[in-house]
Amino acid sequence: MSAKAKAKAIVSTHRGNYPTIPRSDLLAEIGKRVSNTKDYATEFEQANLKTSSVPKFAEFEQASFAMPQPLRTDLESMLGSQGFIDVEIDP
C-alpha cells in the first residue's frame, strides 16, 4: 500500500521549439506521484472547450489527456489562468 502523495508540481508546457517536450505520457506518470493533479479532459468538457484547440492534440496528447496530470501552464492558460500558476508549498 502506498502513502498518499504530498509533493506538488507545475509543468511549463509551452510548445514551440520542441513540440513533444514534455511528453504527455511523462506528465501522466508525474501525475501519479504528486498531490495537485487535474484531469484535463474533464476540465475542458466542463469549460465547453474542444480538444482541437490544444496544439498537436492527436499526435501528443490524446492518449494521456484524461489521466491525472500536474498543473500545466499551457492548459491552465486555455482554461482562463493568467499564464502562470501559484502553488503554495507547505513548510
Q: Does residue 26 lie in a domain region? A: yes
- Tell me how many domains the chain contains: 1
- Global model pTM greater than 0.95: no
State the DSSP code for 11: E
Give residue 70's pLDDT band: very low, low, confident or very high (50, 70, 90).
very high
Residues 6+ apart with CB under 8 A from 29: none
List the domain range (segments joined by +) for residue 59: 21-78
Q: In this predicted model, what pLDDT tens digit does every residue of 48-68 receive, in sequence order?
A: 999 999 988 998 899 999 999
Q: Is residue 3 part of a domain?
A: no
Residue partners of 54: CB distance under 8 A and separation at least 6: 61, 65, 74, 75, 78
Residue 31 lies in a domain: yes
